[in-house]
Amino acid sequence: MIKFLAVVVSAVVMAGLVHAFGPVILVGLPLIVLAMLFSEMPHGQRDAEQLQNARRSNQTTDF
């Protein structure tokens, strides 16, 4: 019975946290991803080209 109560209480707490921070997470995560993409654009482009070159030169390796 105590375990059941602990599970219920933890589930309610988690639901409350998700309800409280859900909008923050939904808005914040895309903004963080966009900021990372824009700040890392040259490096990301170069890494993508290097990865494509590696795929061309070594077709047997699975990425």
How does DSSP assign 2-52, residue by residue? HHHHHHHHHHHHHHHHHHHHHHHHHHHHHHHHHHHHHHTHHHHHHHHHHHH
| Domain coverage including residue 55 | 1-59
In which band, very low, low, confident or very high, does the pLDDT at 30 lie, cut at 50, 70 and 90? confident
Is the entire prediction scored with pTM above 0.75?
A: no
| Cα separation, 62 vs 51, whole angstroms | 11
Q: Domain count of the chain?
A: 1
Q: What is the pLDDT of residues 44-57, one digit of tens each?
A: 556 667 777 666 66
pLDDT at 45: 58
Q: Judge whether 37 and 44 are in contact, CB under 8 Å.
A: yes
- Region 10-31: mean pLDDT is 81
